[in-house]
Amino acid sequence: MGENARTTYLVTGGAGFIGSHLTDALLHRGDKIIILDDLSTGSLANLPSSGDLQFVRGTILDASLVDALVRQCDVVVHLAASVGVKLIMEHPLRSLITNISGSETVFEAARRHRKKVLLASTSEIYGKNPDTPLREDDDRILGSTNVVRWSYSTSKAVDEILANAYHREHGLETIVVRLFNTVGPRQSADYGMVIPRLVRQALRDEPLTVYGDGTQTRCFAHVSDVVDAIVKLLDHPGAVGQTFNVGSSEEVTILELAKLIGEMCQGDAGVRMVPYNEAYSSGFEDIMRRVPDTSKLHALTGWTPRRALRDILDDTIAASCGESGVAGR
């Protein structure tokens, strides 16, 4: 059981990738869940059937609905957002409104009903900062406002600033988690996330597309490790008013990653290099490295990621084989 027996959590975006795994973990320890999700990128197929789970289809932009649900819960986990560089590049205005107005609506309801809120932010916050590893108090370095890519980073920065302002000015209990690349079963391949996309290509015997020259690196954490960090922070009173990086520090180049996935899926269509201006509109700026320093999270909760890249790929490939009906090769 959780710290408070049968806590009721409102999980916005709970039918999505991370939200559905968090829902599983909280239900497993005996908590109750209310999910608010508009199913724009999430799916009911991600959710278990349980008497302790209430699903509400709706948007975080609906202030009276958000108010009614926040009133019914003990703690809010705010995950609903337009996620991923591809979605943001294709629908910049809708993404900004969801991520900024939606979050303000959630924080305002939490203030009225005095409920703790955990906000899911992102490593995109750091923009082009080349420091390695990145610490929570490092600078944000962003490009021009004309480059659409930076609007996701900026919208999440506004969310973080809102969380901090509600904490300081209204005493609202807030926790900010900056998630680095998170991967695992149920992550959709449709919105530009690299591992699900490469796995899908490999399983279809299509060439694995690598953008740019493939030397850019990323660190991937398994969603169960990320959920474990979120739960530890929700349970720890010392997390309130703080910001934490959550992610793995195992670094891999995207070209190495594509080759590894090709090998593990026994795909033989090879790798195809795609220039950025073919993959995205021109003016796209990528980030060469992004490694989190998670010592603050570790010092408070003892958290450390337990699954290595190969375990993550094993799980993701097995789940994708199940979905696509491809038997493991």
- Provide the pairing of β-strand 174-179 with 242-246: parallel
Distances (CA, A) of 45 to 35, 50, 183, 286: 14, 13, 18, 33
Please tell me whether residue 312 binds ligand NAD under the rule CB under 6 A.
no
Please tell me whether residue 199 binds ligand NAD under the rule CB under 6 A.
no
Distance of CA 293 to the CA centre of its chain: 17
Nearer to ligand NAD (CB atom), residue 207 or residue 229: 229
Catalytic residue among 152, 191, 211, 280: 152
- For tokens 């109750």, name the residue: 32
Q: How far apart are CA 192 and CA 153, in angstroms?
A: 16
DSSP 280: S
Note every long-range contact of 97-102, with CB atoms under 8 Å and residues 24 or more positions apart, other chains counting: 97/61, 98/59, 98/60, 98/61, 99/152, 99/155, 99/156, 99/158, 99/159, 100/155, 100/158, 100/159, 101/61, 102/12, 102/59, 102/60, 102/61
Choosing from 9, 11, 34, 42, the residue that interacts with ligand NAD (CB under 6 A) is 42
Nearer to ligand NAD (CB atom), residue 104 or residue 273: 104
Please tell me whether residue 181 binds ligand NAD under the rule CB under 6 A.
yes
Q: Is 152 among the catalytic positions? A: yes
Choosing from 8, 54, 59, 216, the residue that interacts with ligand NAD (CB under 6 A) is 59
Annotate each residue in 11-30 with x if it binds ligand NAD (CB under 6 A) or - if it does not, as one string.
-xx-xxxxx-----------
Please tell me whether residue 225 binds ligand NAD under the rule CB under 6 A.
no
Annotate each residue in 81-120 with x if it binds ligand NAD (CB under 6 A) or - if it does not, as one string.
xxx--------------x---x-----------------x
Q: How far apart are CA 313 and CA 228, in angstroms?
A: 19
Please tell me whether residue 174 binds ligand NAD under the rule CB under 6 A.
no
Please tell me whether residue 255 binds ligand NAD under the rule CB under 6 A.
no
Nearer to ligand NAD (CB atom), residue 102 or residue 267: 102
Q: Whole-number minimum distance, CB 13 to ligand NAD, in Å? A: 3
Choosing from 9, 10, 26, 38, the residue that interacts with ligand NAD (CB under 6 A) is 38
The interface with ligand NAD within residues 113-172 (CB under 6 A) comprises 120, 122
Q: Which residues are CB-neighbours of 231 under 8 A, at least 6 positions away? A: 22, 25, 26
As annotated, the active-site residues are: 152
